[in-house]
Structure 1
Amino acid sequence: MPGDGRSRDETLSRLKARVRMPIPTLSVTWIIASPVITSVILGASRHAQLRDTLAAADLVLPSDLKARLNDITAEYRRGDAGR
């Protein structure tokens, strides 16, 4: 999947439909689930954005979903290490 943004986007859309939560909630839930993350800095310009991101604090990401998100984003999280 590396370099194939359309496949990544389609995969993320399918995951979003499966978990039935807004992408900001899913994103922050995934970030919080990472043991190397010690803090999450949120930003919002509307109340709905803040509501969606804060909802992540009350959720637990299933391990299979976390693994799938890790796989989808691996290329982007490594930065220039593999280049």
Structure 2
Amino acid sequence: MEYVKAAEVLPEWLLREIQQYIQGEFVYIPTLPSRRRKWGESSGAAQYYQERNEEIRRIFRTGASVDELSGKYGLSVDSIKKIIYSKK
């Protein structure tokens, strides 16, 4: 995250208004909910895990055991069960 000088981006009237509440401190202004990205959208992690989990379900349906999948993917038996039995 990069810091931006308020005086460079805010109108003077708004800067004066904010200064009545806080001066010389850092303020985080969150993104509007409509502009937020979901976890993993930017990095591609969400897509990776979705595809991996679909593959795990497909392999399980073809007869692989939970223990086999656990070893193959380096996940706990409980994690494999959660993936297999989730409603996604």
TM class by shorter chain equals: under 0.3
Q: Higher Cα Rg: structure 1 or 2?
A: 2
Q: TM-score, normalised by structure 1?
A: 0.25
RCO higher in structure (CA 8 A, sep ≥6):
1
Counting helix residues as a fraction of each chain, which structure ranks higher?
1
Q: Normalising by structure 2, what TM-score? A: 0.24
